[in-house]
Chains A and B, each alone.
Chain A
């Protein structure tokens, strides 16, 4: 069976971030972690968006890919807020992901997830998005290299 890593990785990331009480407090409530897009009409002033940036299969056996290295962007976004208003959420994400080495059952299969740090690579970013006639959006976060393999 061919596995589809991004669905499993996104499910794992969401399950790790969204239910966390400390992160919810930092964001001002629950339901503020999103995969790739924020629903139209959202009124949250602080939220987290994660998105797959790259996927490289590292082990292939016939039709299966039992291991892959993925890179995710995980960022906190603030509406008319300074970067400093995002740091508590970013610190909590760091605590929830940095050095992770766990096995989890995701969508009925057991997978091992490792956050594969790269000390020689710059991964952090901050930028401001200005909208005509609207508020400024501050985006801050980093890219997270995640190894996943069938357990």
Chain B
């Protein structure tokens, strides 16, 4: 399973958090959703199942099922992976792919070079996390 978790670290920010309930939770989900969009934009498309398989999870929400179904419909041979556990607490969100061949696309096979899409999307998300924190704590 290829997957990333975005976590807003809240140590030292308690006073701000008290005044902005829910803001950091929304920030993590916003970053995860943006990362998923970038990942889909960069994904190598053959049948489209890899691109369709990219899902987002938060503590209390997941769109895994619809993306796994869409991926299976586009490529009946695709191996669908089970849904991983959702983030255990608020303030965290995950992006992942529901198909096994996401790993082959990202890191390559014996005959094909990698088509990286997950890593560039996550690298840009690192900058997004900082911006989301700044926007929500000191607008």
Task: Spell out A's residues near B (CB within 8 Å).
Answer: 36-38, 49, 51-54, 56, 69, 71, 73, 75, 77, 79, 125, 127, 129, 131, 137, 139, 141, 143
Q: Is B113 within 8 A of A51, CB to CB?
A: yes
In the complex, whether B133 has a CB less than 8 A from a CB of chain A is no
Q: Is B113 within 8 A of A37, CB to CB?
A: yes
Partner of A71, one of B103, B104, B109, B123: B123
A49 to B111, CA, bound (A): 12
* A–B pairs, 23, beta carbons within 8 Å: A36-B108, A36-B113, A37-B113, A38-B110, A51-B113, A51-B114, A52-B116, A53-B106, A54-B116, A54-B119, A54-B123, A56-B123, A71-B119, A73-B107, A73-B108, A125-B107, A127-B104, A129-B109, A137-B109, A139-B107, A139-B108, A139-B109, A143-B119
* List of B residues within 8 angstroms of A137 by Cβ: 109-110
Q: Is B119 within 8 A of A53, CB to CB?
A: yes
* List of B residues within 8 angstroms of A77 by Cβ: 110
Partner of A51, one of B103, B104, B108, B120: B108
* List of B residues within 8 angstroms of A71 by Cβ: 119, 123
A141 to B116, CA, bound (A): 15
A136 CB to nearest chain B CB (Å): 10
Task: Spell out B's residues near A (CB within 8 Å).
Answer: 103-104, 106-110, 113-114, 116, 119-120, 123-124, 127
* List of B residues within 8 angstroms of A141 by Cβ: 107
Known: A71-B119, A129-B104, A143-B119. A53 touches B114 (CB 8 A): yes
B35 CB to nearest chain A CB (Å): 13
Q: Is B114 within 8 A of A127, CB to CB?
A: no
Determine the residue in chain B with the shortest Cβ distance to A126.
B103
A101 CB to nearest chain B CB (Å): 21
* List of B residues within 8 angstroms of A73 by Cβ: 107-108, 114, 116, 119
A4 to B139, CA, bound (A): 37
